[in-house]
């Protein structure tokens, strides 16, 4: 395995405060996989949060069906001029660390380039409806790349069945290629994940994933394209 784990995952994980933990659990609960549902948490609280989780699922579902999208992503204007990212082949072979110009476009330019769903998710931090796309079931050898700028984001070898209807991974392909920021939208403390090069919103990361990292990168499939490896 090319990834340096589990230290890699631990570095990325922001341990939440108790309040944040409750907040993230509310978001997670509809998606907890029985297989990984063995973390040392109070049963009572977990049961209590099932209702909240169902509400969160409804909220997530509603994002793409509102006339106005949710705005939670950091503004693109905050992007530096250049970033260092790691290049990968479609087979997931790590190449070199390269310094590249960030990709900054206007709303209209993004709208022309992307499908309506991809546009709302990546540029306005919307959440797609679960079980709506094909690549959550994609387990062939390959790399998931940013739909906006083609940066490699996740290797299919880190993909796992989360039972959420969203493609889920236990690690990004390279720490350099993504950015994690605090997202306090909708009264919940979550960690948003975006593309380092173009600021595309991708999804969120939670701490209820499987070994070896214990992390669950819950991604929107329309934020990525799957590049099949040879």
Q: Which residues pair with 68 in a beta bridge?
A: none
Question: Where on the chain is the footprint of Zn ion (CB under 5 A)?
Answer: 146, 148-149, 151, 195, 197-198, 200
Strand partners, 84: 99
Cβ nearer to Zn ion, comparing 33 with 89: 89
User: 54 or 98, CB closer to Zn ion?
Assistant: 98
Residue 105: CB minimum distance to Zn ion, A: 11
**Would you tell me how many other CB atoms lie within 10 Å of the CB of residue 57?**
17
Q: How far is the CB of 152 from Zn ion (least distance, A)?
A: 10
Query: CA-CA distance, 147 to 220, in Å (whole number)?
Result: 11
Handedness of CA 77, 78, 80, 83 (dihedral sign): negative
CB nearer to Zn ion: pick between 135 and 151: 151
CA separation for the pair 80, 64 (Å, rounded): 29
**Beta carbon of residue 154, minimum distance to Zn ion (angstroms, whole number):** 13
Which pair of structure tokens corresponds to residue 182? 């605090």
- Answer yes or no: 149 catalytic: no
Q: Among 148, 195, 198, 218, which one carries the catalytic annotation? A: 218
**Among all residues, which ones are annotated catalytic?**
218
């Amino acid at each position: 395995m090319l990834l340096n784990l589990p230290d890699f995952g631990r570095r990325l994980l922001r341990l939440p405060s108790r309040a944040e933990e409750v907040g993230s659990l509310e978001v997670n609960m509809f998606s907890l996989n029985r297989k990984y549902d063995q973390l040392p948490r109070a049963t009572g609280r977990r049961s209590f949060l099932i209702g909240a989780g169902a509400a969160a699922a409804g909220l997530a579902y509603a994002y793409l069906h509102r006339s106005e999208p949710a705005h939670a992503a950091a503004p693109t204007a905050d992007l530096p001029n250049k970033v260092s990212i790691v290049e990968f082949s479609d087979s997931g072979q790590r190449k070199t660390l390269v310094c590249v110009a960030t990709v900054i476009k206007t709303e209209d330019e993004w709208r022309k380039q992307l499908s309506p769903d991809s546009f709302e998710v990546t540029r306005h931090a919307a959440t797609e409806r679960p079980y709506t796309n094909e690549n959550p079931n994609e387990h062939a050898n390959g790399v998931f790349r940013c739909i906006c700028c083609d940066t490699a984001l996740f290797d299919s070898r880190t993909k796992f069945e989360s039972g959420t209807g969203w493609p889920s991974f236990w690690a990004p392909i390279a720490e350099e290629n993504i950015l994690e920021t605090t997202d306090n939208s909708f009264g919940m403390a979550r960690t948003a994940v975006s593309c380092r090069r173009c600021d595309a919103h991708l999804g969120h990361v939670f701490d209820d994933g499987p070994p070896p990292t214990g992390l669950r990168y819950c991604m929107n499939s329309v934020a990525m394209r799957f590049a099949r490896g040879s």
